[in-house]
Chains A and B, each alone.
Chain A
Amino acid sequence: MAGDLAVVPVHPESLPDDPRTLRWVIPAGTLGFVGMPVEVPAPLRQLLDDATLAGLTVEPAAVRLTLAAGLEWREQGVRVRDALQAALAVPEQWQAPDLADATDAMAAMAAPGDDVLRAAVHQVLDGEVGDYIRSHGGQVILLSAHESEVEVQLSGACRHCPASDVTLTERLEGGVRALYPGLLRLTARDEPGPGAGRRMLRLIPTRGR
């Protein structure tokens, strides 16, 4: 049955603090939006309608599915996976959340995909790379994510760390690119201060496949 259609690579990862939610990791860029979709393809819609699923959120490279209370992934897992797999085969039938009601001032001038890029940066900063920076007494703040370009600000211990040029930005960029393959460049700026100029880093181009 799946013979003539390319199957979208997907696998579930559990969350340590939320047994009812699974992150179904999908290739970055499969859906092209983040947040709670307005509409999903029929197989998934059905699981939401029959109250198997209580929640569905799209991340840059994953779909978070939350089971209704009282249900077990062990029993529902295969059914949900089949539905998700079928839904992912028709990405055009997923309807992205409406951005019109966003209160963010940036939203007005946002380009398509900016929200995905922003989510990707946040996910990286919340994850291992962020942990690494924090453990070294540093801080990174997202300044802008627009038209596939990201600007972050390094502060704290990062400023004077010689590793910040290469290692840190490399890891940041690698992490973001994994979630947002269209990333053009990631710029790291020092915290504004006496004598601190703006450093632009052309970072390693994407590795050819």
Chain B
Amino acid sequence: MSVLSAFLSDRVIAPTGVAGERTSCALSELKPGARARIIDVRDEVDQAVARRLFDLGFRPGVQVDVVRRAPMADPVIFRVAGCELALRRAQARCIRVSLEA
């Protein structure tokens, strides 16, 4: 492994510490059409997954829209940072969001 990727794999995606706001929930709980703002990635999530979600644009403070679900409700397409990404529910469950109007 290169020095750089070793460096990057040391990154810590820490929870933001924003306490459970009244509207905070998991990204996987939202219905298509909902809009939310990302709070953080849950503490118990594997760091490799957390770092990848961060690199994919799921960063704290970023707005995310639920676009649509696949026929059997999994995976789900989200719109984040200008692009549409499908995540399986297992991953979407790791992302804590606050609902927006």
Whether, in the assembled complex, B14 has its beta carbon less than 8 Å from a beta carbon of chain A, the answer is: yes
Contacts of A4 in B (CB 8 A): 16-17
Question: Would you call the interface of chain A mostly helix, strand, loop, or mixed?
Answer: loop
Whether, in the assembled complex, A197 has its beta carbon less than 8 Å from a beta carbon of chain B, the answer is: no
A1-42 interface with B by 8 A CB criterion: 3-4
Report B1-34 CB contacts with A as 1/0, cut-off 8 Å. 0000000000000111100000000000000000
Q: With both chains docked as a complex, state the minimum distance between the C-beta of B99 and any C-beta of chain A, in angstroms.
A: 19
Contacts of B14 in A (CB 8 A): 3
Interface residues on A, range: under 10
Please, which residue of chain A has its CB at the minimum distance from the CB of B40? A3
Question: Would you call the interface of chain B mostly helix, strand, loop, or mixed?
Answer: loop
Q: With both chains docked as a complex, state the minimum distance between the C-beta of A4 and any C-beta of chain B, in angstroms.
A: 4
Contacts of B16 in A (CB 8 A): 3-4
Rounded to whole angstroms, the CA-CA distance of A166 and B16 in the bound complex is: 45
Q: With both chains docked as a complex, state the minimum distance between the C-beta of A1 and any C-beta of chain B, in angstroms.
A: 9
Rounded to whole angstroms, the CA-CA distance of A4 and B61 in the bound complex is: 12
Rounded to whole angstroms, the CA-CA distance of A3 and B15 in the bound complex is: 7
Q: With both chains docked as a complex, state the minimum distance between the C-beta of A190 and any C-beta of chain B, in angstroms.
A: 43
Contacts of A3 in B (CB 8 A): 14-17
Rounded to whole angstroms, the CA-CA distance of A3 and B61 in the bound complex is: 12
Rounded to whole angstroms, the CA-CA distance of A4 and B15 in the bound complex is: 8
Contacts of B15 in A (CB 8 A): 3
Rounded to whole angstroms, the CA-CA distance of A6 and B14 in the bound complex is: 13
Report B66-89 CB contacts with A as 1/0, cut-off 8 Å. 000000000000000000000000
Rounded to whole angstroms, the CA-CA distance of A182 and B101 in the bound complex is: 27
Q: With both chains docked as a complex, state the minimum distance between the C-beta of A89 and any C-beta of chain B, in angstroms.
A: 15
Q: With both chains docked as a complex, state the minimum distance between the C-beta of B17 and any C-beta of chain A, in angstroms.
A: 4
Please, which residue of chain A has its CB at the minimum distance from the CB of B18? A4
Please, which residue of chain A has its CB at the minimum distance from the CB of B60? A3
Please, which residue of chain B has its CB at the minimum distance from the CB of A6? B61
Rounded to whole angstroms, the CA-CA distance of A3 and B17 in the bound complex is: 8
Please, which residue of chain B has its CB at the minimum distance from the CB of A2? B14
Q: With both chains docked as a complex, state the minimum distance between the C-beta of A120 and any C-beta of chain B, in angstroms.
A: 27
Report B39-70 CB contacts with A as 1/0, cut-off 8 Å. 00000000000000000000000000000000
Please, which residue of chain A has its CB at the minimum distance from the CB of B14? A3
Rounded to whole angstroms, the CA-CA distance of A3 and B14 in the bound complex is: 6
Rounded to whole angstroms, the CA-CA distance of A19 and B39 in the bound complex is: 40
Rounded to whole angstroms, the CA-CA distance of A3 and B16 in the bound complex is: 5
Which A residues contact B (CB, under 8 angstroms)?
Answer: 3-4
Q: Which 6 pairs of residues, A with B, have the shortest CB-CB distance?
A: A3-B14, A4-B17, A3-B16, A3-B17, A4-B16, A3-B15
Which B residues contact A (CB, under 8 angstroms)?
Answer: 14-17
Residue pairs across A and B with Cβ atoms less than 8 A apart, 6 shown, are A3-B14, A3-B15, A3-B16, A3-B17, A4-B16, A4-B17
